[in-house]
């Protein structure tokens, strides 16, 4: 079944839903030639990941074709290889997840070498290293990303660096960082930032 063409606002709104049967249940991935697939793939993948629906996530990743996933409004480029690793991790296929994360790391390391002081690129490298189980390296990269892009400097991407540092800490099992040591900038309230 084809989804009707909707505005960008509708598309963004639908991507924020936790449970979105309108995409995962009604969209038929066999229609590979549809021109709307890449435009829907971001929302489709967000919903699939939120629902932990591995088949839908795989179909959504295929729907991107040559397009790059964006998934977030922040400037953190979650690459296809990283998302393939996340999807493999959802299936508990540790060997495949390690292969995907290793490939993603090789790709991302080149980007970080070219842009050593770019917080979002370093943040993704930290997420990848967390996926690989490289605890100290992942935490160091996540912390550095927060330092490079503080909330006071960038009100959109700064909080994203903190949220991704929390993801890194969760993935590597650093409960102390999660409970007590995440940066909390003066005057910044996470609840207010995420309410809009």
Which range, 46-50, 74-78, 108-112, has the best average confidence (pLDDT)? 108-112
Predicted TM-score (pTM) of the model is 0.76
Which pLDDT does position 125 carry in this prediction? 97
Q: Is the pLDDT of residue 118 over 80?
A: yes
Return the pLDDT at 148.
94
80-90 and 54-63 are packed helices; what angle lies between their axes, rounded to 10 degrees? 160
Question: In this structure, which long-range contacts are made by residues 30-38, counting pairs with CB atoms below 8 Å and at least 24 apart in sequence?
Answer: 31/2, 34/2, 36/2, 36/3, 36/5, 37/63, 37/65, 38/63, 38/64, 38/65, 38/67
What's the average model confidence in pLDDT over 162-167?
91
Predicted pLDDT at 161: 92
CA-to-CA distance for 36 and 81, rounded, in angstroms? Answer: 22
Residues 29-68 pLDDT 10s: 555 444 556 667 888 888 888 888 888 888 888 888 777 7
Q: Decide: residue 32, CB within 10 A, 0-12 exposed, 13-18 middle, 19+ buried.
A: exposed
């Amino acid at each position: 079944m084809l989804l009707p063409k909707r505005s960008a606002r509708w598309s963004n709104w639908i991507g924020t839903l936790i449970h979105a049967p309108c995409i995962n249940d009604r969209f038929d991935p066999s229609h590979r030639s549809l021109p709307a697939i890449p435009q829907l793939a971001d929302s489709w993948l967000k919903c699939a990941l939120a629902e932990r629906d591995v088949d839908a996530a795989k179909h959504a990743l295929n729907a991107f074709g040559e397009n790059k996933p964006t998934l977030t409004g922040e400037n953190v480029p979650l690459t296809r290889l990283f998302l393939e690793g996340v999807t493999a991790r959802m299936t508990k296929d540790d060997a495949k997840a390690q292969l995907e994360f290793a490939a993603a790391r090789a790709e991302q390391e080149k980007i970080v070498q070219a842009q050593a002081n770019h917080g979002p690129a370093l943040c993704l490298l930290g997420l990848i290293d967390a996926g690989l189980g490289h605890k100290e390296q992942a935490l160091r990269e996540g912390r550095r990303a927060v330092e490079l892009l503080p909330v006071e400097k960038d009100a959109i991407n700064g909080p994203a660096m903190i949220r991704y540092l929390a993801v890194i800490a969760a993935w590597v099992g650093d409960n102390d960082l999660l409970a007590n040591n995440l940066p909390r900038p003066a005057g910044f309230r996470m609840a207010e930032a995420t309410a809009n």
